Amino acid sequence: MGCDGGTIPKRHELVKGPKKVEKVDKDAELVALWNYCALSQEILRRPIVACELGRLYNKDAVIEFLLDKSSEKALAKAASHIKNIKNVTELRLSDNPAWEGDKGNTKGDKHDDLQRARFICPVVGLEMNGRHRFCFLRCCGCVFSERALKEIRAEVCHTCGAAFQEDDVIVLNGTKEDVDTLRSRMEERRLRARLGKKTKKAKAAESVSHPAASEESAGPSGMNTGKPEASSLDSREKKVGPVPRSTANGSSSGKAGKPPCGATKRSIAHSEESEAYKSLFTTHSSAKRSKEESAHWVTHTSYCF
């Protein structure tokens, strides 16, 4: 039955009290947040992206999640707000020159300093290990410490010079209050984007409908009044008169049409033109010569009548 052989039990061994709440190691929690992907639980490696709530992911893990959403519910919950690749921003991180990683740990007996981070703030030089608050700009993806943004107040990015607003600053791995404020901003931003799309569609539909209505209104008026070009053509056709069938057939077949039988040839000699103009034609008296004056055909003269 136990307790024999002179064993004296103590009170905490016999009486069961309330279970102690297990405390999470802070250092381990910070390492998990800042060194591992929130979706795949793998070590962060470039390219690294961040969502609108400030969580860190591997870009390939996010792409795999978007392509195949039939993953575990616990992991999918961390990225349920990511609908497409535009909801994440690729981060531009500055490497820490003092971080060696696994270069010197060839034998596996080297102590890993968890306080040493892979990335630092490019302005102040603070390490991104969770001890200091860091944030990134959604417009360009540059990462800074919150201290750098407070000490050097500017409306442009300290690294690339891109202009940003207060709404573009997103805290990385913030507290619950920070996540709540970022979530409300995200919802407002997405709502504005939806409304903007709807207004664009409405404007496009109006621009398509207005030209059709104008064409319909201009149609009957054009039929009644007629175009000026068409009226001028009609008047010219009336002046010229009807074209005979022989000319129409000749023009359609590509051959020159012959003049009608009753039409008389116009003589240049009886016209009212000047004598200089009449002398250009062979029917003029100056162009006519007698047989004595004209040369033989062997000479190839141009005066051949």
What does the pLDDT look like over 54-97, one tens digit per residue? 999 999 999 998 888 765 655 677 788 898 999 999 999 999 98
Percent pLDDT > 70 in the chain is 64
Amino acid residing at 51 = C
Position 201 scores a pLDDT of 83
Residue of 274, 296, 297, 295 lying closest to 284 (CA atoms): 274
Choose the weakest-confidence range: 61-65, 130-134, 293-297, 300-304: 300-304
Position 206 scores a pLDDT of 83
Position 44 scores a pLDDT of 92
Position 229 scores a pLDDT of 47
- Report whether pLDDT(195) > 80: yes
Choose the weakest-confidence range: 21-30, 213-222, 229-238, 293-302: 229-238
Q: What is the rounded average pLDDT of the residues 113-141?
A: 88
- Report whether pLDDT(300) > 60: no
Neighbours of 53 (CB within 10 A): 23
The token pair that represents 49 in the structure block:
């992206």
Give the CATH class of 26-99+115-173: alpha beta
Percent pLDDT > 90 in the chain is 27
* CB-based burial, 182-214: b 16+ in 10 Å, e otherwise: beebbeeeeeeeeeeeeeeeeeeeeeeeeeeee
What does the pLDDT look like over 133-164, one tens digit per residue? 999 999 999 999 999 988 888 888 888 888 98
- Report whether pLDDT(174) > 70: yes
62: CB partners within 8 A, 6+ apart: 39, 49, 79, 82, 85, 88
Position 267 scores a pLDDT of 65
At residue 126, φ and ψ (nearest 5 deg) are: -70, 145
Neighbours of 132 (CB within 10 A): 15
- Report whether pLDDT(220) > 60: no
Position 78 scores a pLDDT of 77
Position 6 scores a pLDDT of 72
pTM of the model: 0.59
Cβ–Cβ < 8 Å for 61, 73? no
Domain residue spans of the chain: 26-99+115-173, 174-203
Alpha-carbon distance 157 to 137, whole Å? 8
Give the confidence band of 5 by pLDDT, cuts at 50, 70, 90: low
Alpha-carbon distance 231 to 249, whole Å? 26
Q: What is the rounded average pLDDT of the residues 103-119?
A: 68
